[in-house]
Amino acid sequence: MPDIEIKNMVKLFTVLLLSEKGQHGYEIMKEVEKKTGKKVSPGQIYPFLKQLKKYRYVETKGRAERDRQAYYLTPEGRKFVARLSDKFGDMFEIAIKPKLTVCAHCNCEIYKGGYKERINGRLLSFCCENCAKGYRTLNTQ
């Protein structure tokens, strides 16, 4: 069976959110709105969920609060998301790479957060305070 085409961010975020945990359509809609900063309509989410279900990439479980169905990825759906991740992985890496810094001590890549400290007149980035301490110990003796 051929894969579903992912041609917009709403669909991409939907399957990525489902890869984290099962969710109701309304929850997905609100989370996609939060991530994209744009209004998302039920007409963008529910037909896509129906298509995912037709392809057996998602299944619904029970009827929870307010008569809502929760959608969960099936094993085949997880494979589909893995293929998407492979397909879009290079694109994401290109987008994220400029935002990465490297720890001055252990050389791990830091996307957000980290710890900055001025050592020997230079402002350096570290992944944590322990790496800053280790760097200080090795480079100020």
One DSSP character per residue, 4-67 reads PP--SHHHHHHHHHHHH--EEHHHHHHHHHHHHSS---HHHHHHHHHHHHHTTSEEEEEE-GGG
- pLDDT for residue 88 is more than 90: no
pLDDT above 90 as % of the chain: 61
- Which comes out higher in pLDDT, residue 19 or 62? 19
Close Cβ partners of 136 (under 8 Å, ≥ 6 residues apart): 117, 119
CA distance 126 to 103: 4
- pLDDT for residue 85 is more than 60: yes
Please tell me the predicted confidence (pLDDT) of residue 65: 57
Please tell me the predicted confidence (pLDDT) of residue 5: 83
- Which comes out higher in pLDDT, residue 5 or 70? 70
The residue to which tokens 């039920």 are assigned? 42
* C-beta of residue 32 within 8 angstroms of C-beta of residue 13: yes
Range in 44-48, 63-67, 83-87 the model is least confident about: 63-67
Domains and CATH numbers, the chain: 9-97 (1.10.10.10), 100-139 (no CATH)
99 φ, ψ to 5°? -90, -5
Please tell me the predicted confidence (pLDDT) of residue 68: 74
* C-beta of residue 81 within 8 angstroms of C-beta of residue 89: no
Please tell me the predicted confidence (pLDDT) of residue 2: 62
Please tell me the predicted confidence (pLDDT) of residue 94: 84
